[in-house]
Amino acid sequence: EDTPGTHGDPFRLIQSLPGVAQTREYSPSAGELSLRGAAPGDSRFFLDGVEIPYLFHFQEYASVFHTRLLERLEVYPSTFGTQYGNAVGGIVEAVSRSPEAEQLHGGLNWSLVNAGTWVAAPVGSVGAASGSARRSYADGLGRSSDQYTIWPVFWDYLGRYEHELKPGHRVSLTAFGAGDRYGRLARVVDELDPLGLEADPEFLFDRAFHALSLRSSNQVGGALLRSSLALVHDRWEGQVAEDEQFRRERYAWLREDALVPIGEALQIAVGLEAKLTWLDRRANVSQIWPELATEAPLLTRGVSVDESLQRFRGGAYLEPRLQWGDLRVQPGLRVQWD
Are the beta carbons of 29 and 60 closer than 8 angstroms? no
Q: Name the amino acid, one letter, at 326.
A: D
Rounded to two decimals, the pTM is: 0.88
What burial class does residue 243 get, using C-beta atoms within 10 Å of its C-beta: 0-12 exposed, 13-18 middle, 19+ buried?
Answer: buried
Quick one: pLDDT band at residue 237, thresholds 50, 70, 90? very high
Residues above pLDDT 90, as percent of the chain? 43
Mean pLDDT is lowest, of 102-111, 146-155, 230-239, for 146-155
- How far is residue 84's CA from residue 248's CA, in Å, rounded to a whole number? 25
Quick one: pLDDT band at residue 192, thresholds 50, 70, 90? low
- Helix (H) / strand (E) element for 275: namely strand 266-284
What burial class does residue 55 get, using C-beta atoms within 10 Å of its C-beta: 0-12 exposed, 13-18 middle, 19+ buried?
Answer: buried
Q: Tens digit of pLDDT for each residue in 259-308? A: 999 988 999 999 999 999 999 999 999 888 887 887 888 998 888 999 99
DSSP 44-113: EEEETTEE-S-SB-GGGS-BSS-GGGEEEEEEE-SS--TT--S-SS-EEEEEEPP---SS-EEEEEE-SS
Distance of CA 300 to the CA centre of its chain: 23
pLDDT of residue 109: 87
Quick one: pLDDT band at residue 214, thresholds 50, 70, 90? very high
How does DSSP classify residue 1?
A: -
Mean pLDDT is lowest, of 28-42, 186-200, 296-310, 324-338, for 186-200
Q: Tens digit of pLDDT for each residue in 112-151? A: 778 899 999 999 888 999 999 999 887 877 666 666 778 8
Given a cut of 60, whether residue 198 has pLDDT beyond it is: no
- How far is residue 286's CA from residue 299's CA, in Å, rounded to a whole number? 9
What is the average pLDDT across 6-28? 72
Mean pLDDT, all residues of the chain: 86
Q: Name the amino acid, one letter, at 188.
A: V
Q: Name the amino acid, one letter, at 64.
A: V
Beta carbons within 8 Å of 320's beta carbon, 6+ residues apart:
266, 267, 268, 269, 330, 331, 332
For the chain, first and last CA: distance in Å? 41
Quick one: pLDDT band at residue 26, thresholds 50, 70, 90? low
Are the beta carbons of 237 and 243 closer than 8 angstroms? no
Beta-bridge partner residues of 253:
230, 275
Given a cut of 60, whether residue 39 has pLDDT beyond it is: yes
What is the average pLDDT across 73-85? 85
